A and B are shown apart, each in its own frame.
Chain A
């Protein structure tokens, strides 16, 4: 990112979940800057903490979660606010208006007894009770067209009359209706078929341009990141392993985990031989000592089992948490 104007700055964020087995270390000391108008892809496997990170930003963590430390600074037209410490009633205004969230399997969160039109009215009225119906419908038509839906047909339909792909696009339109600065999408396309997925992702770029919005896409699918992201965060066991622009991550990956992940994905062309990351995902109640990837890492050194590497800038804008790249 060359014109890097900060929009969200996460510092030292640590989140734990209480469970009978002990504390689950869902996020450990996360530091991340997110810039205005970028498309950030957060990629990780199950248990990597990617969804917890999203839920922490929108303050919707489940009841058994505890934020141990950290701050999430949101830059709002020159103002700096900490989302985590601000009054919750005040924060609620930020949700949808400034930061919208499209949860995983979002299409199932549409109310089955409300027409799509009413979903838009309800959402807008909750934040702006004076908005007129005509104004809302006009705006709704606009955002529906952006997601390639036919407003005439969709607005008067009930959710069950639409296909999964259409409902997912309705959810994205709903997220856009209040013109938020950030949209966070958790696995936006994982429940869709191949063709709908591609079309929605293709379309996201146009949406970003038209609405001046920052997009954070959370996914386990490297293909999704390759398609939409211009910057990528790789997470593993509750930590950020590597951050960089999409070219650096895909063509010059530094972290052994990122390298392994890229080599582990089957491709449509070229060499068919694949690499598999040995071992099992870590136990987050008792994470491995030192670098949490060391039990599966082919380059693990003695130090990796003792100390935890921190995220360091290796090339411009390319950060990695790995002792391989630390000059001591």
Chain B
């Protein structure tokens, strides 16, 4: 593993939602501690509402944590000077899920790609054209002249996502946070985008944080990487991708794995989901103790519904937040 690049320390995020008089405090992220190493691929996995997108945006500096610290290259991003923050901002980029919303509909591909180049004087003004073409070639939109002056609505979902990636690559990022980048793209084009991400990573050695609900896709993008599983704003398991797939320890991870549909009828039909309760508790009204105990088939009354377990290392590089797992392995 490379050296520490981003470090999250006791990060909490809460929002106020509701009307004028009935505001409630919602804890979207609770006590996140996470170190991201230079050059690694880290997956953030969980279902909708688990806080994975919020965590991604916290890392990108788009959402300020309610409490806790985020260090980038050892510096607290809330204490950075304006210049330092701008550098951080440029080096940590975010790829949105929906390429139909992330590209400005009234700008041509050329405008979209040339603006950051001009703003940050990344290339000499006379070379902007050439650089735009180079970026398009880099993301596989060839020949570039076919795409430069098109508007987003004239492109397919896959092509739009490639343009969004080209825009990000224009500022030479060190970290790319990719939020479900293929979930809104046709199946036949998904692999193309994933492969492009892999190629760009190999070429630039950038760090990738891949946010998804689909462990199969994550496995494709990062076989050697790590993955953090999230549930209702907290981290429940953190380990290597292969280990998580073969030896999941947290009951929630086990259920998530058995719930994932697989493109093989014999396998997928033999996997059954066994839960105490089917429905996720509302994030507005979180249960006490372990947040999963209301659904967990192994929950022990008097323990799991009282105290929230900490994320502890139960074996080398395998962190789990579960009262049941803690005892067995240490």
Contact = CB atoms under 8 A, between A and B. Distances in A.
Within the complex, are A and B direct neighbours (CB within 8 Å)? yes
B174 to A, nearest CB: 26
Given A199-B278, A272-B220, A267 B263 contact: yes
Given A223-B268, A268-B260, A194 B47 contact: yes
A222 B262 CA distance: 8
Interface residues of A, number: 42
A260 B278 CA distance: 35
Contacts of B262: 223, 226, 267-268
Contacts of A224: 261
Given A148-B278, A226-B263, A227-B261, A46 B49 contact: no
A198 B259 contact: yes
A220 interface: yes
Interface in A263-292: 264-269, 272, 274-277, 280-281
Contacts of A196: 278
Contacts of B217: 266
A5 interface: no
Given A202-B273, A223-B268, A45 B261 contact: no
A276 B186 contact: no
B188 A194 contact: no
B265 A247 contact: yes
A211 interface: no
A274 B214 CA distance: 16
Contact of B220 (A197, A266, A277): A266
A277 B188 contact: yes
B259 A195 contact: yes
A266 to B, nearest CB: 4
B47 A223 contact: no
Interface string A242-273: 00001100100000000011101111110010
Contact of B264 (A199, A221, A226, A264): A226
A201 B261 contact: yes
B247 interface: no
B289 to A, nearest CB: 20
Interface residues of B, number: 47
A297 B40 CA distance: 36
A45 B194 CA distance: 18
A1 to B, nearest CB: 15
A281 B256 CA distance: 32
Contacts of B23: none
Nearest to A195: B259
B80 interface: no
B188 A260 contact: yes
Contacts, number: 132
B250 interface: no
Contacts of A250: 263-265
Interface string B196-221: 00000000000000000111110110
Nearest to A230: B265
B219 A226 contact: no
A189 to B, nearest CB: 9
Contacts of A295: none
Nearest to B48: A193
Contact of B158 (A220, A267, A280): A280
Interface string B171-190: 00000000000000011111
B104 interface: no
B275 interface: yes
Most A CB contacts (10 A, CB to CB) among B156, B190, B259 go to: B259
A246 B49 contact: no
Interface in A208-252: 220-224, 226-227, 246-247, 250
B188 A199 contact: no
A268 B245 contact: yes
Most A CB contacts (10 A, CB to CB) among B188, B269, B279 go to: B188
Given A45-B188, A268-B215, A226 B261 contact: yes
B265 A227 contact: yes
B273 A198 contact: yes
B49 to A, nearest CB: 7
A262 B264 CA distance: 9
A154 B330 CA distance: 44
Contacts of B264: 226, 250, 267
B256 A195 contact: yes
Nearest to A224: B261
Interface in B46-100: 47-49
A280 B278 contact: no
Most A CB contacts (10 A, CB to CB) among B156, B261, B280 go to: B261
A163 B219 contact: no
B187 A220 contact: yes
Interface in B252-308: 255-265, 267-269, 271-273, 275, 278-280, 282
Interface of B: 47-49, 156-159, 186-192, 194-195, 213-217, 219-220, 223, 245, 255-265, 267-269, 271-273, 275, 278-280, 282
Given A193-B48, A250-B263, A266-B219, 12 more contacts: A165-B278, A195-B275, A199-B278, A227-B265, A261-B188, A266-B217, A268-B215, A272-B223, A274-B220, A276-B188, A276-B191, A280-B158
10 contacts: A163-B279, A194-B47, A220-B187, A221-B261, A222-B263, A268-B219, A274-B194, A276-B188, A281-B156, A296-B188
